[in-house]
Chain A
Amino acid sequence: MEFKFTEDNLKRIEESLSRYPQKRAALMPVLFIAQEQNEYISGEVMTEISRILEITPEDVLGVVTFYTMYHQQPVGKYHIQVCTNVSCMLKGSSGIYERVKEKLGLDHMQVTKDKLFSLEEVECMGSCGTAPMLAVNEDYFENLTKEEADQIIESLKNRN
């Protein structure tokens, strides 16, 4: 299926392009815009971006696979990210990760059948002083307990 950017997003891409002396430099911001519109970066998305930025689809693929924040598969409506790096680990993040895994029945980078939740074990998110933490999409939840992690997931479930 062909992918086309919406009119609004084309304007945002224009704005991004104006920030750099070369078109290719807008690749990362354009990928974020594409991911917002299409939920994930499909082959069609890469082809369209390569056309706009005048690079090859392989150039785009190389960048997409390098950075963890670009998804080549759809993630859930609520993408849960649990940090398990050192500072969080010292504050018991593995317990939180295990609890969330159990509660959602998911492993790293899996999505629930209803596409509501996905889970990712992430590297340091910069919440070391407020560890442990998890993030739901763009929002951080810090100084977390297992019970609070439960509550967050419950409230997200109830929202739907």
Chain B
Amino acid sequence: MEKIVLPDIKDVHLIDVYLRNEGYNGAKKAFTLQPDEIIEQVKRSGLRGRGGAAFSAGLKWSFMPKTTDKPKYLCVNGDESEPGSFKDRQILEHNPHQLIEGILITCYAIGAKTAYIYIRGEYHKWIKLFEKALADAYANGFVGDLMKEKFNTDFFCNIYVHKGAGAYICGEESSLMNSLEGHRGYPRVKPPFPAQNGLWGCPTTINNIETITNISPIIMKGWEWFSKIGEPKHPGTILYGISGHVNKPGVYELPTGMLLTDLIYKYAEGVPGNKNILCVIPGGSSMPPLRGDQIDGVKMDAESLRAAGSAIGTAAVIVMDEDTDLVKVLERIAKFYHHESCGQCTPCREGTGWILKILNRIADGNGSIHDLDLLVSVAGNIEGNTICALGEAAAWPVKFMIQRFRDYFDKRVSREVNIPPINKVHSMRHTEIPLADGSIIT
């Protein structure tokens, strides 16, 4: 099976090995084309973003204004904080030069002279590995001023690493830009979209690391080749990250549209102890979970998963066996989103806290049947009422987990409805209002 992003070439992270394997030839070819031709090719290839939203990469690039007196920027998103997702670090470690080459081609296509690659701060090791590769690329004239000579072109660009500092929300594109500008990672209201008003108010494109790593092979081998791999509507390979209760967890590069059951049983070699599967989250912890009996025949691409009632997200498959305590799992997920809510929008800031409190009470055995509906109601009041998608990320697991495992949760709560004691503050409020002339209204 052909691998695009993580090819089976020993030591390809070293620049010498990469060069021996046609390294930087994609960039060489790209610089002989017009930027518009590259955008067109990427559009036709059908490459869709690998960061979660699965939006067409070429289409995103085409939103960049052709004529502007402002500088343009490329941001490469390596914040990778979605629980269950651990694919970008493989690229940083095993194939950094193909990522760098992708950045060069993307910068050329959108007309950017500066690219920032935002990598989560906890990835000290992988930042160092990438910086080493980047330094080698600079030293060999593939990046920066020397590019002009190396590639015999007028174009040049610089790549800088920007290290995150431990905030999940900075994986959201507008929040990432605020973080890069030295602010709190608060998401921005859209529109305006980054292509109009991005970093420092300038046109900006933001792509995931994995998306960018696909660019050079597409240019080298042509869009037709790429569009024929995997599912036609969501072509290419994808880095599936499988974790949880499987015998062989890890990252598997396979075509899109793989059967979820194949991933679990064939590649990850099934569930330890041959236990049944209770629940699978197919795209990282923010995506709607599926019941074990819902996964048969489900394919791993954006459309198929939507039809199955979930979403592809970052293709981070989390498998839970029949002995898993789902209340504890949901409580932990809720804790995460409460911790990571940036606090800007009231529904998310307050709602995630209430969800956690209710789940704490259910996990402690003090929940009532009323709490399940309350959870769904609170989640429903977050969803769609926030600036960014963290609202949905916090609401979906709660809403769908309870909906799809209602029987399971019913058994964990008391049938009796606990009516909370009357709120004393309200009942003690003054009913007598003195007026200025000394009389009293009751």
Contacts and interface: CB of A to CB of B under 8 A. Distances in A.
Interface stretch (A1-9, A99-107, A124-132, A151-159): A124-132
Given A25-B182, A28-B179, A69 B122 contact: yes
B194 interface: no
A27 interface: yes
B378 to A, nearest CB: 20
Interface stretch (B25-33, B104-112, B137-145, B164-172): B164-172
Contacts of A135: 122
A138 interface: yes
A106 B290 CA distance: 38
B336 interface: yes
B81 A123 contact: yes
Nearest to A85: B83
Contacts of B184: 62-63, 66
B83 A86 contact: yes
A63 B83 contact: no
Contacts of A68: 165-167
Interface string B84-98: 111011000000000
A67 B167 contact: yes
Interface string B330-343: 00110010011010
Contacts of A130: 86, 249
From A67, A90, A138, residue with most partner B Cβ within 10 Å: A90
B85 A126 contact: yes
Contacts, number: 136
Interface string B350-385: 000000000000000000000000000000000000
Contacts of A139: 124-125
A74 to B, nearest CB: 17
B329 A89 contact: yes
A139 B123 CA distance: 9
A28 B200 contact: no
A123 B182 contact: no
Interface in B27-60: none
Given A22-B181, A131-B243, A124 B336 contact: yes
B320 to A, nearest CB: 6
Interface in A68-114: 68-70, 84-87, 89-91
Contacts of A122: 122
Interface string B222-248: 000000000000000000011111000
Contacts of A129: 86, 241-243, 249-251
Interface in B136-180: 160, 162-168, 179-180
A55 B336 CA distance: 32
Nearest to A23: B182
A37 B81 CA distance: 27
Contact of B336 (A24, A85, A131): A85
Contact of A86 (B123, B329, B339): B329
Nearest to A93: B332
B119 to A, nearest CB: 11
Nearest to B285: A86
B89 A128 contact: no
B80 interface: yes
Contacts of A63: 182-184
Contacts of A89: 328-329, 332
Contact of B243 (A29, A53, A128, A138): A128
A32 B163 contact: yes
A20 B250 CA distance: 37
B394 to A, nearest CB: 14
Nearest to B89: A126
A37 B297 CA distance: 55
B167 A66 contact: yes
B123 A126 contact: yes
A26 interface: yes
Interface string B244-261: 110001110000000000
Contacts of B120: 126
A125 B81 CA distance: 7
B249 A126 contact: no
Given A28-B182, A90-B318, 7 more contacts: A25-B182, A32-B121, A55-B182, A66-B185, A87-B318, A90-B324, A128-B249
5 contacts: A55-B182, A69-B122, A128-B83, A130-B86, A135-B122
Give the top 3 A-B pairs by smallest Cβ distance, nearest first. Answer: A67-B165, A27-B182, A68-B166
Interface of A: 19, 21-22, 24-29, 31-32, 53, 55, 62-63, 66-70, 84-87, 89-91, 122-131, 135, 138-140
Interface of B: 71, 80-86, 88-89, 120-125, 160, 162-168, 179-185, 200, 241-245, 249-251, 281, 285, 316, 318, 320, 324, 328-329, 332-333, 336, 339-340, 342
